[in-house]
Amino acid sequence: MLDDFRGWSHVDDFCIDVAQPLLATHPAATLELLDRWSHSPNRWKRRASVVTFVRKVGESGTFTDTVLDFSERLAWDSEDLVRKGVGWALKDSLRGAPERVTEYVKSLRRRGAPAVVTLYAIRDLRGTARAAVLAVRPERS
């Protein structure tokens, strides 16, 4: 079905209305499918592989390891909408595992990840927590 999607809004609706309930009822099979999608040449499948972990799923902290794994794979994706999906998944996962996700976002900044990923990820951070992430600069090699 995702092969025929032509826009991010359809993908995001599918993730929230279909993939998230499947993840709740059939986690092993859904995670296997999402892992395959994260390697797909289809940008909508790659986006779906991370957007499935937004909102309450990300906030739960249950799938933080998976979000970080997929984010590592997709943070440098050639498609802007995939990178934005990574940032969104990280932002919502930050609520469920704040220390781990904050350290990961800092690591992304140190390694020169696209700003759209890290800025989306810290969108809800305020004050010194936000400043600490923004203070991280790419390492020079």
Confidence tier at 3 by pLDDT (50, 70, 90): confident
At the topology level of CATH, where does 2-134 sit?
Leucine-rich Repeat Variant (1.25.10)
CB atoms within 10 A of CB 85: 32
Predicted model pTM: 0.96
What pLDDT is stored for residue 40 in this prediction?
Answer: 97
92: closest CA among 134, 64, 128, 127?
Answer: 64
pLDDT, one tens digit per residue, over 52-106 is: 999 999 999 999 999 999 999 999 999 999 999 999 999 999 999 999 999 999 9
pLDDT, one tens digit per residue, over 17-43 is: 999 999 999 999 999 999 999 999 999
- Given a cut of 80, whether residue 5 has pLDDT beyond it is yes
Listed range (2-6, 48-52, 113-117, 123-127) with the worst mean pLDDT:
2-6
Q: Could you state, in order of their start, the residue ranges of all structural domains in the chain?
A: 2-134
Please provide the DSSP assignment of the chain as one string.
Answer: -GGG--SHHHHHHHIIIIIHHHHHH-HHHHHHHHHHHHT-S-HHHHHHHHHTT-THHHHH-TTHHHHHHHHHHHTT-S-HHHHHHHHHHHHHHHHHSHHHHHHHHHHHHHTT--HHHHHHHTTT--HHHHHHHHT--PPP-
What pLDDT is stored for residue 133 in this prediction?
Answer: 98
What pLDDT is stored for residue 6 in this prediction?
Answer: 84
What pLDDT is stored for residue 59 in this prediction?
Answer: 97
What pLDDT is stored for residue 4 in this prediction?
Answer: 85
